[in-house]
Amino acid sequence: MERKTVKFEAKDINEEEGTFTGYASTFTSTPDAYGDVVDKGAFKKTITEHTGRIKILWNHNADEPIGKPVELIEDGKGLLVTGKLTTGVQRAREVLALMRDGVINEMSIGYDTITDSIEKGVRHLKEIRLWDVSPVTFAANPDATITGVKSDLEKLLKSGRVLSATSRNKVQAALDALQALLEAAEGEQEPEKSTPEPEETTEAAEIEGMLDTIMAEIDGFDTKQAESNLDALLEKFKMEVKNYA
């Protein structure tokens, strides 16, 4: 099971009927944050053969179904979804209200890859099987977030900024911990027919928060207090590695 997330502008929201319309996936010529390109035609077969099994879940949580797509259309832009949320469910009413206010503005698809190909080092998804289209709080894929954190810290080390030897060692330790976290995540097995659990989204948000804190500490790296704070952050990274292992 894989997932892919895009910014989502819900249109024609009708809270009374529980309906909304918007794109759950879009076609682009450049790789997305996951290093993939979804090719036109990827959704055609799944729309024809599996629409009745596709659900709308809250944050990809199979324990929180909140509705179903009543229409799935692949057009020149991407996958256009008209969804109907079950307004008898409290969570569905909450999601509709959050969509209306622009708080929930990201949509993610849960899918299996049926056919793909590597072209010039980029994976092109030719055919996928949809399992769910889900409004999500955060779009960040944990693996992509970890990669982004690594990139920012690597740029810091290469920037020529004057850091104490102790500080440089701590940044390098953070990079090593992130690499271990990535390697552990790559070995993690997904359930065959279930969507990712919401804890992954929570981990992504926590990792982004760690990065923000590290970057906020950069200006004070030469102080003992800053180094002590970074020690605490490194311990959190190490705990994340253990949780993945």
CA atoms of 81 and 135, how far apart (whole Å)? 12
pLDDT confidence of residue 176: 77
pLDDT confidence of residue 222: 44
pLDDT by position in tens, the chain (length 245): 787 767 776 677 888 888 988 888 888 887 876 778 999 999 999 999 988 899 999 988 899 999 999 999 999 988 999 999 999 999 999 998 888 888 888 888 899 999 999 998 889 999 999 999 988 876 544 444 455 556 666 776 777 666 677 777 777 777 777 666 656 554 444 434 444 444 444 555 555 555 555 555 554 444 455 445 555 666 666 565 555 44
Question: What confidence tens digit (pLDDT) does each residue in 87-100 have?
Answer: 999 999 999 888 88
C-alpha to C-alpha distances, 237 to 133, 142, 182, 210, 213, nearest whole angstrom: 31, 13, 11, 9, 13
Q: What six digits make up the tokens of 144?
A: 């992509």
H or E element that contains 173: helix 165-186
Question: What confidence tens digit (pLDDT) does each residue in 41-63 have?
Answer: 999 999 999 888 999 999 888 99
| Phi (first) and psi of residue 145, to 5 degrees | -65, -45
pLDDT confidence of residue 198: 45
Q: What is the DSSP string of 104-157?
A: --EEEEEEEEEEEEEETTEEEEEEEEEEEEEE-S----HHHHHHHHHHHHHHHH
Contact call for residues 90 and 54 (beta carbons, < 8 A): no
Contact call for residues 32 and 51 (beta carbons, < 8 A): no
Sign of the dihedral through C-alpha 4, 136, 43, 185: positive
Q: What six digits make up the tokens of 157?
A: 């080390």
As beta bridge partners, residue 104 has: none
Of the chain, the end-to-end C-alpha distance in Å amounts to 19
Q: Specify the 3-state DSSP secondary structure of 37.
A: strand
| Phi (first) and psi of residue 45, to 5 degrees | -70, -40
CA atoms of 51 and 129, how far apart (whole Å)? 10
Q: Where are the domains of the chain?
A: 2-135, 142-244
pLDDT confidence of residue 170: 73
Q: How many helices (H) and strands (E) does the chain have?
A: 6, 9
